[in-house]
Amino acid sequence: MNNKDEFFMQKAIQLAGRKRYKNKPEPLAGAVLVKGDQIIAQGYQKTNAEPHAVSQVLYNLAPEQESTIYTNIEPCFSPENNFSCAKMLVQKGIKRCVIGTLNPAPEINGKSIAYLKAQGVEVTFGVLEEKCRQLNIFYFKYTQTGLPFVTVKYAQSLDGRLATATGQSQWISSGSSLRLAHQLRSIHDGILIGIGTLLKDNPRLTVRLVKGTSPWRIIVDTSLKIPLTANVLNDEHIKKTIIVTTKVAEKKKMAAIEKRGAKILKINQDPQGQVDLREAFFRLGRIGIHSVMVEGGAKMITSLLKNKLFDRLVITIAPKIIGQGIEAVGELGVKELKEAIKFNRIRFKKMGADLIFEGEPVNQTWKV
Amino acid sequence: MNNKDEFFMQKAIQLAGRKRYKNKPEPLAGAVLVKGDQIIAQGYQKTNAEPHAVSQVLYNLAPEQESTIYTNIEPCFSPENNFSCAKMLVQKGIKRCVIGTLNPAPEINGKSIAYLKAQGVEVTFGVLEEKCRQLNIFYFKYTQTGLPFVTVKYAQSLDGRLATATGQSQWISSGSSLRLAHQLRSIHDGILIGIGTLLKDNPRLTVRLVKGTSPWRIIVDTSLKIPLTANVLNDEHIKKTIIVTTKVAEKKKMAAIEKRGAKILKINQDPQGQVDLREAFFRLGRIGIHSVMVEGGAKMITSLLKNKLFDRLVITIAPKIIGQGIEAVGELGVKELKEAIKFNRIRFKKMGADLIFEGEPVNQTWKV
């Protein structure tokens, strides 16, 4: 690995990042072909119907003996398919292949690299690995576990309150932080809230302040309290509404909701009688949801934090103090400080008057 | 005002800032004498025994017709005293005087500027005024109100907790933030804590991690629960210990504490039966304490925030989540968000793994 490798890998990451990873079975991928110090071809997969990045770059090219190809993720490989990226790369006589991360899909996961080496291609692995991992973090989580990547996002005061005791929370944070919330919505496959938040705010859970497809709206609602008049059951995105409930839900109401076009997921109850969130995420993964953004409320946040059912936390901290009110995080059962939730990849950044905290909890076990 | 003025004013501020404002009856002052674009003399008051900055710079100088003097605070003035800075300035024939802020001392407060103008000196006022105000913020508060400037400082988790439910709070924040706490201690005349914190931690409240004089240790202790074995009653700084109590305190214990050399301040009770903090600050001001840093605990913090008895808030936010535990800020009586405490001069800065928030509450009424 050297500075030149990092430079061209950064270019491949940029190309890959031109797309959003959204409901995709394929990871984001970019490829850059370099001869000497010159980029002679580059590409990325714009739609799932297009060839993969590496194949795209090489397909129309004459064999290239002296060149190096850079790609953020291990090229695809299949012993039977001569058009797989790894085979194409060998056919075109590429001398060296520089790769950011493995592709954890079971049919690839290192097999592609082994094939390239066996065919005499020089392989350099792990260039800007962490950046490449972050780029496809939803893909990695989903591919390795079948579970969606879960981002928990909320806005709080300096003293950790979501709202005043009377529940007032509108505009706790500034305009630019609201934009951030909508941007996060636009990159996740689904937005999830608890029924308490729905009953209080009746949100639409669509992407408005930025461009992007509207995500699945997922309401966790143990005893199906959702009113049939709720916004998410009455707009043009009804088919993108999922109500996660349990066997205590009234059957007639379930049927009425399904008839409107929304989806019902019936899940087991956890020991507290609530929707078993672990199972809920598993089921959401099964219907192809790779990433979920959780927007509240306090009970949902506390439950996910307590049960370590989240992969990233994003907190907008508004420079205000509310005092006793609705606290973002309730009882976690932490007795000693060493049991507190700690974070990796911590970022603090200013946004308007607010501060954004981002971190991933330590001890995630599904890492690539 | 122009860039040149700001440049030389910045120099005057730097000179003034070489000293700490600590138990001082005089504001921090620096002066820079400029001819053309050249600094021809500069100075600041190193000890209270020395002449003021302006006089110091001019005293040994031959009359200077074409020069400009820059000083962060209005020069001192007294009609009777020919060695006052303003008179000296006129005697030396200085053409122009550039001033950052007024000096709010009743005998000066604009009179010096009026005198200079009447004597034909060209006066430019308000250059880098806010910076100059911040430099002498303790002096301004004390001079204008007789009350100490109150900084509230604590370390919390992201979710606003000081400690776990079992009270464990040691090392909530990182080493560099602890250094900050000691640095703040070193610039304030006094450190104040509630008796709860003393009983829990038995702190020494001295300046250790940085250089600086140890401050007054002020313990707010309504019913004189402090044990005679407490560190602050048994070390070499005993004469710098003040116990703020009320008439419910046991007289014999008061006498015993005073006999050791500590000070007792007997204050009225507020409607809740606690030490009336407003009166306490007034009395602390009367014994010459210009600035107080409050270090906890939660009850003290909440009381000061609720009663708007603070001038600056400094929070170290550690990137951890504790969940239900000891919350930094309790009930403030905020019903609607617009009643939340808001801040001016907000600063967020990273320090080690932690984030530091600093702000001054809006609606301070004593401003210069």
Asked if residue A297 has a cis previous peptide bond (ω within 30° of 0), the answer is: yes
For position B177, what pLDDT does the model report? Answer: 77
Nearest to B329 among A321, A328, A340 (CB): A321
Q: Is B352 on the interface with A (CB under 8 A)?
A: no
d(CA A238, CA A264): 12
Position with higher pLDDT, B292 vs A63 = B292
Positions in chain A whose pLDDT score sits under 50: 368
User: End-to-end alpha-carbon separation of chain A, Å?
Assistant: 20
The CB-based long-range contact list for A45-50 (8 Å cut-off, 24+ gap) reads A45/A19, A46/A18, A46/A19, A48/A24
Contacts of B159 in chain A (CB under 8 A): 156, 160, 327-329
Task: Decide if A159 touches B, using CB distance below 8 A.
Answer: yes
Q: Is the pLDDT of residue B164 over 50?
A: yes
Query: Looking at chain B from residue 287 to 306, which residues have their Cβ under 8 Å from any Cβ of chain A?
Result: 302, 305-306
Cut 0.95: pTM above it: no
Residue B183 has pLDDT above 90, yes or no: no
Enumerate domains of chain B plus CATH numbers: 3-135 (3.40.140.10), 139-361 (3.40.430.10)
Q: Where are the beta strands (DSSP E) in chain A?
A: 30-35, 38-44, 68-73, 96-101, 122-125, 149-157, 161-164, 190-194, 216-220, 241-245, 263-266, 291-294, 312-318, 320-321, 325-327, 341-351, 354-361
CB spacing of A357 vs B320 below 8 angstroms:
no
B window 315-334, beta carbon within 8 A of A = 315, 317, 319-325, 327-334
Quick check: B355 and A341 CB within 8 A? no
d(CA B71, CA B117): 16
**What local confidence, expressed as pLDDT, does residue B368 receive?**
45
Q: Report how far residue B201's alpha carbon sits from residue B194's, in angstroms, rounded to the nearest whole number.
A: 11
Least CB–CB distance from B319: residue in A305, A350, A359: A359
* DSSP result, B139-175: HHHHHHHSS-EEEEEEEEETTSEEEETT---TTSS-H
Averaged pLDDT of chain B: 91
By C-alpha distance, the chain B residue nearest A302 is B323
Neighbours of A271 (CB within 10 A): 6
Evaluate if residue B311 carries a pLDDT over 90: yes
Q: Which residues of A touch B320 (CB under 8 A)?
A: 337, 340-343
Q: Tell me, yes or no, if B309 comes closer than 8 A to chain A by beta carbon.
A: no
What is the predicted pLDDT for the residue at A19? 79
pLDDT digits (tens, 9 = 90+) for A44-69: 988 777 888 888 888 878 877 789 99
pLDDT on residue A366: 64
Subunit contact A337:B158, Cβ cutoff 8 A: no
Residue B366's pLDDT is what? 64
Supply the pLDDT for residue B332. 95
pLDDT at A365: 65
Across the interface, whether the CB atoms of B171 and A337 are under 8 A apart is answered: yes
H-run or E-run covering A143: helix A137-145
Q: Do B319 and A165 touch (CB under 8 A)?
A: no
pLDDT in tens, B207-222: 777 776 778 999 999 9
d(CA B228, CA B258): 11
CB contact under 8 A, B323 and A330: yes
d(CA B295, CA B40): 45
Tell if the CB–CB gap between A335 and B165 is shorter than 8 Å: yes
> Given B158, B332, B334, which is nearest A357 (Cβ)?
B158
Rounded distance, CA B173 to CA A31, Å?
43
Interface test with A, best of B152, B153, B159 (most A CBs within 10 A): B159
Q: Which of the four pLDDT bands, split at 50, 70 and 90, describes residue B352?
A: confident
Q: Which of A274-278, B78-82, B93-97, B114-118 has the lowest mean pLDDT?
A: B78-82
- Report the chain A residue with the minimal C-alpha distance to residue B172: A337
Active-site pick, B6, B26, B50, B358: B50
Q: Rounded to a whole number, what is the distance in Å from the CA of A184 to chain B's nearest CA?
A: 21
Distance (Å, whole) CA B124 – CA B74: 11
Position B233 pLDDT exceeds 60: yes
Is the pLDDT at B169 greater than 90, yes or no? no
Q: What is the DSSP secondary structure assignment for residue A241, as one 8-state letter?
A: E
Token pair belonging to A185 = 């919505």
Please determine, for residue B132, whether its predicted confidence score (pLDDT) is greater than 80. yes
- For position B23, what pLDDT does the model report? 59
Q: Are strands B263-266 and B241-245 parallel, antiparallel or unpaired?
A: parallel
Task: In whole angstroms, give the CA distance from residue B112 to residue B104.
Answer: 11
Note whether A337 contacts B306, CB cutoff 8 Å. no
Q: Closest partner residue to A319 among B169, B323, B343, by Cβ? A: B343
Q: Which pLDDT belongs to residue A368?
A: 45
